[in-house]
Chains A and B, each alone.
Chain A
């Protein structure tokens, strides 16, 4: 993070600190993917675009010399609106399509959004000022900027609120009912469409929350989305598509990535993430008894 001028840097501590920060963002992304998966049975490939939209809108607004909090709120709102628009305009009219057909639609939306962002802000990375500034905290030879601490605390609290919300509140239980069986939930008086919209809105806002907290530290560009989708998916799949394990796996993925980055170099990052995905696939395969992805 380039914070410290002091001598004794401990690379391990530093890796753990940046791993926790990245991991928090992955946990937020994974949480969004999981709730969307549960309400709509689809893997939303455009999910990472919420991160890109949130970060870029915030950066552009901050550049217009709006108050920072307003710029960040605009970023989160834009991402939530994007996610809801995806559900309303692209997915809801195609409810009778196959799951794979809908996944393809989300891919196309991701691709289109990337083009729009490229046209709007160009290819250069963007950033904006931190919410909290000040000297970096020194922890066991690593430097944690206050913004990073804020990211970890707010991000993890938000991510962990989801499992709690699902277990303890009425809308949460409705969301779980829709996940179990949409038809039965509809018969019991749950508004399935509204629940889906809510899931997409929360997912979009969470993706953007990660962006508005992380982008002051690591800048965003128009093609950040797909990579974020992939990392969120790995965490979600590793966590068996359930919210609490997905949060933990997101943090774990961030830590693993940071350690690889520190000890093997940044070039090894993509291949290692891919190896993690292969690991997840092999681990999931062992539960499948007969060929194919069968669901009766």
Chain B
């Protein structure tokens, strides 16, 4: 075992034993039991809100729901096991329905929807006192049969299982997928991630943590009141998570332990409670985005690194795996991409009007035109972000209109005008996101090998382990390009690849595009740098106000007087 693991284990044992030590006033096994249950629920919120960034303000409702469900069935005389199962199952079903209804919409809908859900659960619990116990609460007597120490053991075990489950879930490809969605849903969709599907899963799984925590909590405390479901409790959960550290494994535990303990030692500051709490929440949101776990993270890494370096030789970075398959498609005579009669209407504006062209395998094809000519709209239609109002796009003979956006990723790689990478993943991790999507049969080390080989063939091997947020913009663009082209998609769409590159990087880029062409991909570039376009592309089209005003060999179309008027006239 590595020394850092030993140290971590010692710390865990100390933490578990701490309520019995009496060293910290007010930190009793009873409080620690509550903290464990709350931390379990917060692990779920951490997944939803910390990792994926979905605004969910109804976690307390999902804590209270299973308890109300089970408790009400219990008072009606149903068998105990059935109460529990029905309470949990019913709550999860509601979580699933909430996800289906709200997750596809912009974030504010889920925010308001979950807030409203809390209001409704709280309101219903008040409205039917005959069933729910009303304001004085619904009583659970079965938990009293178990002693306090046994409850503490149960709570620690439940939290340990929760943490294990969370770390098992949130790693590797799933982790990369979640971070990509969090940072850029559009890029995630273009990479082939089913954004709404993954977000729904995350919401239900995150609520499941709350549901299990809630039922344990209710039987431990012995009573549940309408406020337990309410907006205040939900916001309290968000606040504890923010204080603890959003997105960190131990953020939930640290945040809950600190805040719950503060509540106890300050004796619930009564009149001042709301305003103190509000101020703390606001401060955490506005100023301390990393939370306590965030600023403990660095010292821990330093200590752990120091301990481990003394004990073991430097870790071997995972290497190897197969090299990219250089499948040659250059011999294929049919067109790779065929766009015919495509139009796009936005309200009254015609963004594209009867656009048609085709691109062969192993060809670099240029689309030029002034800003607002419809180039980005065209890319969006080909990559599936927008639907064409009319016309057809075929890729290797397949009608793309019938291919869902997630299924286009293996066929189409796309880079963006401003690189849309995930800043807190490494360059390697960013390239792997696309491999995760297009070839699920690969295992983790094969993906590492392929992604590393791709970066190396783009001359970026030395950057593999660097976080993208620490890299300059030019290098990010090249990494974006490497990501778009990994797995050798038949079609690569590049949106202004030359913008912002130094002259050295430009020469490097030209070499890379040549390399893509050599591998047989059809490459379509939108670019304003005419010198670069003439140097790299043979054929192309000129778009102006959504129409194709010239088509053919790049050198010739750029000399066309109409093109000069539309394009350079605007500049002159």
**A binding-site residues for B, Cβ under 8 Å:** 42-43, 45, 90, 94, 98-100, 103-105, 107-109, 111-116, 118-119, 122, 226-227, 229-230, 233-234, 237, 267, 270-271, 273-274, 277-278, 281-282, 284-285, 288-296
Contacts and interface: CB of A to CB of B under 8 A. Distances in A.
Contact of A284 (B109, B112, B197, B282): B109
Contact of B123 (A267, A281, A284): A267
Contacts of A118: 271, 274-275
Contact of B278 (A42, A94, A99, A114): A114
For chain B, give the interface size range: 35 or more
Given A103-B111, A115-B274, A277-B116, 12 more contacts: A90-B286, A103-B55, A114-B274, A115-B273, A116-B278, A230-B112, A270-B116, A281-B101, A288-B104, A290-B405, A292-B104, A293-B106
Given A119-B272, A291-B196, A294-B186, A285 B105 contact: yes
Interface of B: 53-55, 57, 101-102, 104-109, 111-113, 115-117, 119-120, 123-124, 127, 181, 185-186, 188-189, 194-197, 199, 231, 235, 238, 271-279, 281-282, 284-286, 376, 380, 384-387, 404-406
14 contacts: A43-B111, A103-B55, A104-B238, A105-B285, A108-B284, A115-B275, A122-B271, A226-B231, A230-B115, A274-B117, A282-B101, A290-B196, A291-B197, A294-B185
Contact of A274 (B119, B186, B231, B405): B119
Nearest to A112: B278
A249 to B, nearest CB: 15
Contacts of B102: 281
B124 A271 contact: yes
A112 B283 CA distance: 10
B112 to A, nearest CB: 5
Contacts of B385: 290, 294, 296
Residue among B55, B117, B277, B376 having the largest count of chain A Cβ atoms under 10 Å = B55
B384 A284 contact: no
Contacts of A90: 286
A72 to B, nearest CB: 26
B116 A274 contact: yes
Contact of B275 (A99, A119, A274, A277): A119
Residue among B53, B274, B380 having the largest count of chain A Cβ atoms under 10 Å = B274
A116 B102 CA distance: 32
A240 to B, nearest CB: 12
The 5 closest A-B pairs by CB, nearest first: A292-B195, A291-B196, A115-B275, A115-B278, A112-B278
B361 to A, nearest CB: 27
A200 B276 CA distance: 26
Given A112-B282, A115-B277, A277-B113, A293 B380 contact: no
A107 B197 CA distance: 27
A105 to B, nearest CB: 6
Given A233-B112, A274-B117, A292-B189, A119 B274 contact: yes
Contacts of B181: 292
B120 A270 contact: yes
B199 A292 contact: yes
Contacts of B186: 292, 294-296
A282 B185 CA distance: 20
B281 A43 contact: no
A95 B120 CA distance: 34
